[in-house]
A and B are shown apart, each in its own frame.
Chain A
Amino acid sequence: MKTLIFDKLLQFLNRLEQEKIYYTLSHHRDSAIMITVSLPGERWEIEFLEDGSVEVEQFKSYGEIYDETCLNDLFVHVGNSSQPFAAVG
């Protein structure tokens, strides 16, 4: 099973390269390898798991580009920060 999933992973990476789709590899879970695929307005997190399964999560853009004031929202979102973000320069 583990060899099969490795073959599947390699096959998938080769396909991404053939299609010239940008991706990065990462390891965020003990039993999985993640491929983050960047598409216009979308990011796909594709994980090949040790048990032979594949999990896919998609993130889609709201289609808007915000300015730096939005960075404050980021810190508010993650928790208890009441300090405004000041950009350098």
Chain B
Amino acid sequence: MVGWVERSETHHFRARWFSFHFIFDDLSTTEPLNEKTIPTSSRQFELRGRPGLPTAMLGKGVYPPHRFLNTEMYWLILSLKLTNAIVKRGFNLKSKTVAHILIQKKGTIKQAPLPKGSPSWEDLSQMTWEQIELGAKENRAGFKIVRKLLTDKRFDK
């Protein structure tokens, strides 16, 4: 899952307003994410407006590019754009196992030849990203190439 949306409604100035909270999981943790574990910054957005009216705006002060879009439509487009942006930006590898990182990568990276003495992909899958980095720093066989393969965006799904 890349993220989720929470919808809430409030009554203000005799009108019904709703808010969409976009909370995107950048996969920086394997723990279930909530507002405490996700710093706001670029990962949390709020879209507010009155149903059916082109009054959508983002909590961060960014207005929709097309004023004739109604809020629901804008929400759809925005969620697609943000999902795409987050997928393109990549994700944080910290504390992840290789198996978890591999989910985001093309399976073919396992076909890349590894030098003699490298651990097998099966063993590597159990390791954390930190162990891969340490192995690469210590110049252990195969760890630098594995680090490269796991971070190279050409091999993202």
Contacts and interface: CB of A to CB of B under 8 A. Distances in A.
Interface of A: 28-31, 47, 55, 57, 77-79
Given A28-B152, A29-B153, A55 B144 contact: yes
Given A77-B111, A79-B108, 19 more contacts: A28-B152, A28-B153, A28-B154, A29-B148, A29-B151, A29-B152, A29-B153, A30-B90, A30-B151, A31-B151, A47-B148, A55-B144, A55-B148, A57-B145, A57-B148, A77-B108, A78-B106, A78-B108, A79-B107
Interface of B: 90, 106-108, 111, 144-145, 148, 151-154
**Interface residues of chain B: helix, strand, loop or mixed (majority):** helix
Contacts of A77: 108, 111
7 contacts: A29-B151, A29-B153, A31-B151, A55-B144, A77-B108, A78-B106, A79-B107
B144 to A, nearest CB: 6
Contacts of A57: 145, 148
B90 to A, nearest CB: 6
Contacts of B152: 28-29
A28 B88 CA distance: 12
B101 to A, nearest CB: 13
A28 B111 CA distance: 19
Contacts of B153: 28-29
A31 B153 CA distance: 11
Contacts of A78: 106, 108
Nearest to A30: B90
Nearest to A27: B153
A28 B106 CA distance: 15
A46 to B, nearest CB: 12
A74 B50 CA distance: 53
3 smallest beta-carbon distances between A and B, as pairs:
A29-B151, A28-B152, A28-B153
Contacts of B107: 79
